[in-house]
Structure 1
Amino acid sequence: MLFPTPTLTAADDHVLGELDRMRAALRHQVRSTPTKWTEGLRKYLTADAVAASNSIEGFRVATVDVEDLMAGERDVEVSEENREETLAYQRMMTYIQTLHDVEDFSYSKGLLNALHWMLQGHRHSPRKPAGQWRRGPVYVTDARDPSIAAYTGPDAKDVPGLMGELVGWLGTDDAAHPLVRAAMAHLHLVSIHPWADGNGRMSRSLQTLMIAREGVLAPEFCSIEAWLGRPGNTWEYYRELGRRGSEYLPDQDVSSWVRFNLTAYHQQAQTVRNRLDRSGRVWGMLSDFAEAQGSDERVISALHDVAMTGRVRRSRYEHAEGLSVQQAQRDLRDLVASEVLQPVGRTRARYYEAGPRFPEDALEAARTPMPLKDPYPK
């Protein structure tokens, strides 16, 4: 048995209406924005989702470091464990992103287990098999006291049947709004807890996949993982899951879970819209600066990375602009000589951050915080 999808309130319907309008507007905005801006934003959002979802599980890597790891940088100062977890999750998310427009796509137990192998294959062991249902009990410990089992998953012998029911539900249309269905899929999977490890990230990834399959926005703009990874939201996430009880009891009202997710969708959409707006303003300021300095237009992408994420590496600039190693090195050397950038570190680990003559207005625009609206005003 799965959790029944709750009947929405008038307030929920209002929020969903706002979400539909926001997402349609964002889709139009993305399509009308220069590719260089949106490509950078796509990479940032993917990295932010990976960093946030891993952080919920205790693997903490800054978004800018995740971006570097995703770009193939080897000299990033992170532990080997965090590097492996980041790259594994990134590979799985990259595959999920490619599934958004596959014509003969279908959900199956095999697909879910394959995704789990991508995520956990590097940790495969007889005790914690990757890509296979768990063979014994599983517990979620209390965040405040690991000796307390905050949640105990259903018996292992029941997992194949429950996952069969979930896959069947995924393949049908119950007429619920796609965002509500995605939230329910997250709850179903995390509650069944079918694997020995990686259940939280798999559940959040399934939610992302379902929203991406809807086709309104590119997959990179769909995930709420970055929102869930903010410290205060993570505690609310744990608390909301905790309201379901300490064992699998699907015959209950989960309206508060749906409302929690609608809030997450709404505020993440606001965040993406704000970052896209801010990115455009910063690009315009840097374009004016480069023109006034007599610099080649291509250096704007390097300066934009510095303003928006705090730093740029030579390899990322090289790939973004399709340059040779020598061209990228020469451009960055010139920016250092003019004190627009300053180098940090040596040889392969070197990156560049804002120097004394970096345009302050661009930095201020990039760092100006944006307010978030609560879609359910008190």
Structure 2
Amino acid sequence: MLYRMPSLDIADRRVLDEIDVLRDQLRHAVQQAPMKWTQDLRKALTASAIAASNTIEGYRVDAKDVADLMDGERDAVDASEENKAETLAYQQAMTYIQSLHDVPDFRYSKELLNALHWMLQGHHHPQRLAGQWRRTAIRITAPGDELATDYEGPDAERLPDLMGELVDWLNDGDLEAHVLVRAAMAHLNLVKIHPWSDGNGRMSRSLQTLVIARGGVLAPEFSSIEEWLGMPGNTWEYYKVLREVGGPVYSPERETGPWVRFNLLACHQQTQRVQRRVERSNDCWVQLMDAASSFGITERQITALHEVAMAGRVRRSRYEKAEVLNTQQATRDLQALTKAGLLTAVGQTKGRHYIAGPRFPEQVLATARRPHTITDPYAS
């Protein structure tokens, strides 16, 4: 037996309608935006999701460093080897999830979930089983007190049947329900079944992203709520609602409305945040295009300046890949921007990156830092 879909009240349905409108607006905005910077934005959002989800589990790598790791800049990132390994493993799983969003004959299966788990946790095998159901009992400790039990998962003997039931539901259950509600329930059921010895939280959040992305409204990079969940206050609420709804042991008869409501709040507010980011990014691009002639820069160099405005820095390797240049061309462009005072080089050799120089347009930097207000849809 799985945790069941709740009945939605008037407020839930109103919030769902608002999310649909916001997501449609965001999809339109992304489609109209210049391809170059939307590719950068997709990578930045993926990096933020990976950084946030790993942070929830205690692995801390800044989103900008995650983006560098995604570009192959392992030696340039100042993080422990353990944190780098966890980041790259999550990137591997996330990349595969993103590739599945439009597969025409897609089906969920136990094999798919175990394969995703291997991508995420295979570097720990065989010390910790990866890609296989756990073979022992599982006990989750309370935050800050390792002796206090927060949750006990179902017995290992039940896992094949429970996971079979979950896979069947993912393929054929409650298909008339809104995709965001189904995704939230997929997350809840997987994390409460807790089928693996480690990595269950990240797998559950990844599954939620996949279910949403399969809904087809937005690309996976724009669909994840992991960045929102990784914010400190939100992470605390996330654990709190999982405890309250899930119960101290596997209890699928419990009311799941508060969990779905929490996830709808997350979807609404994360979509607001991404929408504001798209607006800022587009405005920065337009302002840099307007300033290009006065600074004597090419359109491809705008890509580097845009990355600095939005992310705070750019590396030669990132610029090289974005503009499909060879190393010499990318180096010459960045040196020219540095000589013009638009960029400032920081660090040496592999660790070198570029930040805004003394002549970088202040208006663009102000636009990139433009504050926004995020509303609570349930407070309306």
TM (normalized to structure 2)? Answer: 0.97
Query: What CA distance in whole angstroms lies between the structure 2 residues aligned with 1:284 and 1:270?
Result: 21
More displaced stretch, 346-355 vs 140-149: 140-149
Match of 1:357 in 2: 359
Query: What CA distance in whole angstroms lies between the structure 1 residues aligned with 2:340 and 2:25?
Result: 40
Match of 1:38 in 2: 38
1:132-211 map, 5 Å: 132-174=132-174, 175-211=176-212
Query: What CA distance in whole angstroms lies between the structure 1 residues aligned with 2:135 and 2:229?
Result: 29
Match of 1:8 in 2: 8
Q: Which structure 1 segments of 5+ residues have no match?
A: none
Deviations 1:71-127 (A, max 9, x none): 11132111100110000000000000111111111111111000000000000125x
Q: RMSD value over aligned CA atoms?
A: 1.0
Amino acid at match of 2:220: P
Q: How far 1:39 sits from its partner (Å)?
A: 0.7
Query: What CA distance in whole angstroms lies between the structure 1 residues aligned with 2:314 and 2:31?
Result: 26
Query: What CA distance in whole angstroms lies between the structure 2 residues aligned with 1:133 and 1:218?
Result: 30
Amino acid at match of 2:82: E
Match of 2:100 in 1: 99
Match of 1:252 in 2: 254
2:288 is aligned, of 270, 286, 292, to: 286
Query: What CA distance in whole angstroms lies between the structure 2 residues aligned with 1:188 and 1:51?
Result: 23
Q: How far 1:159 sits from its partner (Å)?
A: 1.1
Query: What CA distance in whole angstroms lies between the structure 2 residues aligned with 1:367 and 1:137?
Result: 48
Query: What CA distance in whole angstroms lies between the structure 2 residues aligned with 1:246 and 1:372?
Result: 33
> Which secondary structure state, in structure 2, belongs to the residue aligned with residue 376 of structure 1?
helix
Match of 2:216 in 1: 215
2:334 is aligned, of 308, 313, 332, to: 332
Q: Which structure 2 segments of 5+ residues have no match?
A: none
Match of 2:66 in 1: 66
Deviations 1:313-341 (A, max 9, x none): 01111111112211111111111112211
Amino acid at match of 2:35: T
Query: What CA distance in whole angstroms lies between the structure 2 residues aligned with 1:277 and 1:362?
Result: 13
Match of 1:265 in 2: 267
Q: How far 1:4 sits from its partner (Å)?
A: 1.2
Match of 1:116 in 2: 117
Deviations 1:215-260 (A, max 9, x none): 1111111100000001110000010111022111110111000000
Query: What CA distance in whole angstroms lies between the structure 2 residues aligned with 1:64 and 1:211?
Result: 25
Amino acid at match of 1:296: T
> Which secondary structure state, in structure 2, belongs to the residue aligned with residue 148 of structure 1?
strand
Match of 1:306 in 2: 308
Amino acid at match of 1:14: R
Amino acid at match of 2:273: T
Identity of aligned residues (%): 61
Contact 1:142 1:148 in 2 (8 A): yes
Deviations 1:254-297 (A, max 9, x none): 10000000000000110111000000111111222222111112
TM (normalized to structure 1)? Answer: 0.98
Query: What CA distance in whole angstroms lies between the structure 2 residues aligned with 1:139 and 1:304?
Result: 47
Query: What CA distance in whole angstroms lies between the structure 1 residues aligned with 2:226 and 2:252?
Result: 24
Query: What CA distance in whole angstroms lies between the structure 1 residues aligned with 2:140 and 2:242?
Result: 11
Q: How far 1:58 sits from its partner (Å)?
A: 0.4
1:275 is aligned, of 268, 274, 277, to: 277
Contact 1:64 1:309 in 2 (8 A): yes
Deviations 1:164-201 (A, max 9, x none): 11111111141211110000000000000000000000
Contact 1:141 1:151 in 2 (8 A): yes
Query: What CA distance in whole angstroms lies between the structure 2 residues aligned with 1:42 and 1:16?
Result: 24
Query: What CA distance in whole angstroms lies between the structure 2 residues aligned with 1:99 and 1:336?
Result: 41
> Which secondary structure state, in structure 2, belongs to the residue aligned with residue 342 of structure 1?
strand
Contact 1:291 1:297 in 2 (8 A): no
